[in-house]
């Protein structure tokens, strides 16, 4: 291999723009082989182990745990033992790593592009920051001055600087795109020989947990933040990937106890009942994609009632007679959708907005919406039309299990030609769903309910599901959507058709 090689953040799927290293699995100075897991990377949807693209020696870790970086950013450096640290520094400098973002680019909102070329590195502190001291805050003269209006800083940092006469241009920012936080200001004051007064501790009506929280499963960044804020991990709800306590859980626990939030502002009032819970990366991705779908895709919806008594009888027969097979109603619905997509291929499409073209697919790749504590993800059953009911059921079960464990690979939840969203298990009668671009349709499935139905002039009771199809009118017309529901109804109400 060449003497110096960069390990970069890979692009896992077309929609991935950034990621954060949550944990390094190989330490500096250790050798690694091609394909060996190097670190865990969290994206907007999943946390996956990143495999080494080549073998070598890990000489320098650049991306610290918790640091969010754009795709292709340098995470670490691999080099032979004969390469000096100075040579590694020169190579990193040539890539722009370690260079500060210019104030103009950060303040003008052009930092996203600049961040792909200039990657600020937050160097870890060798020891925890000194605790705040009682008494007044003292600011060294080297930081004194007025802060300009165009400084890129958090509101709390700006307020603290205004109160104490600090020029934030003299404070290095460790936030995204070089943003200065209140903690950066506190650290700068201490590093220059000043002191930061401790905020008064508010009265608490409920005692905090005092248990040893070393056995609580938490991300390294969350554990470090909890130690800084004095939060016991036993008091945190675990909503992170794989059931771990994440940074958002620690912040939520801190706010719930009425202390400082992320930038450590003092609470304005003990009677405040509003909590500011930061959006997780998954929630941000969901918000951006669905907002774009509502803005760009003109939705129309058509509904149909499906009688599922024959389906329920066939399901009961399968589950009672076929070993190791336990089919759900949702398995039948997914299979029926795949069969209907084959019958009405005009719905089995994606819309390429950039090329203004309709992408016609031959295989029915059906996504199944799965609710997670942190949001929603849609793992995809590839070639669902070609799978038997037993195979499809096993595929869905495996994908849902991996989704809840945060172990889906990018190609297992990105793409797809159609989505099924089923809220029947929650007792929902019917609802509308938003299309997941670039797909052009999604089926919202309600609960099976016994309803009176007229048959040959007689009122009888049938088990009925209401299904609503949302379509992108740019590529699917009303008549096409109606034909799809007709095909779906035929497969659901005559489930034997799905076996041949």
> pLDDT at position 358, please?
93
What is the spatial distance between Cα 144 and Cα 166, in angstroms, rounded to a whole number? 5
What is the dihedral angle through the alpha carbons of 277, 283, 285, 286, rounded to the nearest 10 degrees? Answer: -140
Helix (H) or strand (E) holding 375: strand 375-377
> pLDDT at position 210, please?
77
Q: Where are the domains of the chain?
A: 4-115, 125-198, 220-277, 283-499
> pLDDT at position 110, please?
36
Residue 430 CA to its chain's centroid (Å): 27
Provide the CATH topology of domain 283-499: Chloramphenicol Acetyltransferase (3.30.559)
> pLDDT at position 3, please?
82
Position 461 pLDDT exceeds 90: yes
Q: Which of 479, 318, 409, 418 is nearest to 45 (CA)?
A: 409
Percent of the chain topping pLDDT 70: 82
What's the rounded mean pLDDT across residues 143-155? Answer: 80
What's the rounded mean pLDDT across residues 471-475? Answer: 94
Average pLDDT, rounded, for the chain:
81
Per mean pLDDT, which range of 83-97, 191-205, 326-340, 341-355 is the poorest? 191-205
Residues 6 or more apart in contact with residue 8 via CB below 8 angstroms: 72, 73, 74, 75
> pLDDT at position 464, please?
96
3-state DSSP call for residue 357? strand
What is the spatial distance between Cα 350 and Cα 361, in angstroms, rounded to a whole number? 8
> pLDDT at position 444, please?
96
> pLDDT at position 140, please?
82
Under 8 Å between Cβ of 347 and 418 = yes
Under 8 Å between Cβ of 17 and 70 = yes
Q: Which of 415, 459, 422, 458 is nearest to 438 (CA)?
A: 415
Task: Tell me which residue has tokens 């709390």.
Answer: 156
Question: Using alpha carbons only, how large is the chain's radius of gyration in Å?
Answer: 28
Position 114 pLDDT exceeds 60: no
CATH, domain 220-277, list 4.10.320, 1.10.10, 3.90.320, 1.10.3470: 4.10.320
Residues 6 or more apart in contact with residue 489 via CB below 8 angstroms: 304, 306
> pLDDT at position 104, please?
34
- Give the tens place of pLDDT for each residue, 170-197: 888 876 567 787 888 888 888 888 888 7
> pLDDT at position 268, please?
41
- The residue from 164, 361, 397, 473 that is catalytic is 473
Rounded alpha-carbon distances, angstroms, from residue 11 to 23, 143, 336, 410:
18, 41, 34, 9
Which comes out higher in pLDDT, residue 323 or 105?
323
220-277 shares its CATH topology with 283-499: no
Backbone angles phi, psi at 340, to 5 degrees: -65, -35
Position 213 confidence tier, pLDDT thresholds 50, 70, 90: confident
> pLDDT at position 261, please?
40
> pLDDT at position 275, please?
61
> pLDDT at position 152, please?
78
DSSP for 421-489 reads EE-GGGT---------TTBSEEEEE---EEEEEEETTEEEEEEEEEEEEEEETTT--HHHHHHHHHHHH
Which comes out higher in pLDDT, residue 268 or 295?
295
* Range picked from 163-167, 321-325, 335-339 for highest mean pLDDT: 335-339
What's the rounded mean pLDDT across residues 66-78? Answer: 86
> pLDDT at position 107, please?
28
3-state DSSP call for residue 165? coil
CATH, domain 4-115, list 2.40.50.100, 3.40.50.720, 2.40.10.10, 3.40.190.10: 2.40.50.100
- Give the tens place of pLDDT for each residue, 135-145: 577 888 878 88
Which comes out higher in pLDDT, residue 377 or 346?
346
Residues 6 or more apart in contact with residue 52 via CB below 8 angstroms: 7, 32, 33, 34, 35, 36, 37, 38
Task: Tell me which residue has tokens 């450590």.
Answer: 264
- Decide if 361 is catalytic: no
Quick one: DSSP state of residue 307? E
> pLDDT at position 277, please?
67
Position 460 pLDDT exceeds 70: yes
Q: Which of 273, 228, 220, 276 is nearest to 245 (CA)?
A: 220
What's the rounded mean pLDDT across residues 43-71? Answer: 83
Rounded alpha-carbon distances, angstroms, from residue 86 to 90, 109, 119, 216, 404:
6, 34, 19, 40, 45
> pLDDT at position 241, please?
67
Task: Tell me which residue has tokens 């608490």.
Answer: 204
> pLDDT at position 94, please?
84
Predicted TM-score (pTM) of the model is 0.54
- Give the tens place of pLDDT for each residue, 247-272: 878 887 877 665 444 444 444 444 34
Per mean pLDDT, which range of 58-72, 86-100, 189-203, 393-407 is the poorest? 189-203
C-beta atoms surrounding 134 within 10 Å: 8
Position 274 pLDDT exceeds 90: no
What's the rounded mean pLDDT across residues 285-296? Answer: 77
3-state DSSP call for residue 248? helix
What's the rounded mean pLDDT across residues 132-136? Answer: 55
Whether the bond between 438 and the residue before it is cis, its omega within 30 degrees of 0, is: yes
> pLDDT at position 49, please?
82
Position 380 confidence tier, pLDDT thresholds 50, 70, 90: very high
């Amino acid at each position: 291999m060449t003497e110096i090689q960069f390990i970069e953040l890979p692009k896992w799927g077309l929609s991935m723009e950034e990621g954060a290293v949550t944990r390094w699995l190989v330490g500096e100075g250790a050798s690694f082989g091609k394909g060996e897991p190097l670190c865990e990377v969290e994206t907007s949807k999943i946390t996956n182990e990143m495999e080494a693209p080549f073998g070598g020696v890990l000489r320098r870790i650049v991306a610290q745990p918790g640091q969010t970086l754009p795709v292709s950013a340098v995470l670490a450096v691999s080099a032979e033992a004969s390469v000096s640290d100075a040579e590694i520094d020169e190579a990193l400098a040539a890539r722009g790593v370690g260079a500060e973002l210019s104030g103009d680019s950060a303040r003008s909102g052009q930092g996203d592009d600049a961040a792909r070329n200039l990657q600020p590195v937050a160097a870890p502190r060798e020891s925890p920051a000194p605790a705040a001291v009682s008494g007044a805050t003292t600011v060294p003269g080297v930081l004194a001055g007025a802060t300009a209006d165009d400084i890129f800083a958090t509101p709390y940092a700006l307020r603290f600087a205004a109160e104490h006469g600090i020029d934030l241009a003299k404070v290095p920012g460790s936030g995204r795109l070089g943003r200065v936080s209140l903690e950066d200001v506190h650290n700068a004051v201490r590093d220059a020989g000043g002191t930061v007064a401790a905020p008064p501790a508010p009265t608490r009506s409920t005692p905090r947990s005092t248990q040893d929280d070393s056995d609580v499963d938490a991300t390294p960044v969350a554990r470090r933040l909890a130690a800084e804020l004095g939060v016991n991990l036993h008091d945190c709800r675990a909503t992170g990937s794989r059931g771990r306590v994440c940074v958002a859980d620690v912040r939520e626990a801190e706010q719930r106890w009425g202390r400082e939030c992320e930038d450590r502002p003092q609470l304005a009032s003990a009677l405040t009942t509003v909590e500011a819970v930061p959006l997780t990366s998954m929630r941000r991705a969901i918000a951006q994609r669905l907002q774009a779908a509502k803005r760009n895709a003109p939705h129309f919806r058509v509904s149909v009632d499906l009688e599922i008594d024959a389906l329920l009888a066939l399901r009961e027969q399968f589950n009672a007679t076929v070993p190791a097979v336990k089919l759900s109603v949702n398995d039948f619905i997914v299979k029926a959708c795949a069969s209907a997509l084959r019958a009405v291929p005009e719905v089995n499409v994606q819309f390429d907005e950039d090329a203004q073209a309709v992408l016609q697919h031959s295989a029915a790749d059906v996504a199944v919406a799965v609710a997670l504590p942190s949001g929603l993800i849609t793992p995809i059953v590839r070639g669902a039309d070609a799978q038997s009911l037993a195979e499809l059921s096993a595929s869905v079960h495996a994908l849902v299990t991996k989704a809840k464990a945060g172990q889906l690979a990018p190609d297992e939840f990105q793409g797809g030609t159609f989505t099924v969203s089923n809220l029947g298990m929650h007792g929902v009668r019917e609802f509308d769903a938003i299309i997941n671009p670039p797909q052009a349709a999604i089926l919202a499935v309600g609960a099976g309910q016994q309803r009176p139905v007229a048959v040959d002039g007689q009122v009888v009771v049938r088990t009925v599901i209401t299904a609503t199809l949302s379509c992108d009118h740019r590529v699917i017309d009303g008549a096409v959507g109606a034909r799809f529901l007709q095909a779906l109804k035929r497969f659901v109400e005559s489930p034997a058709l799905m076996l041949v």
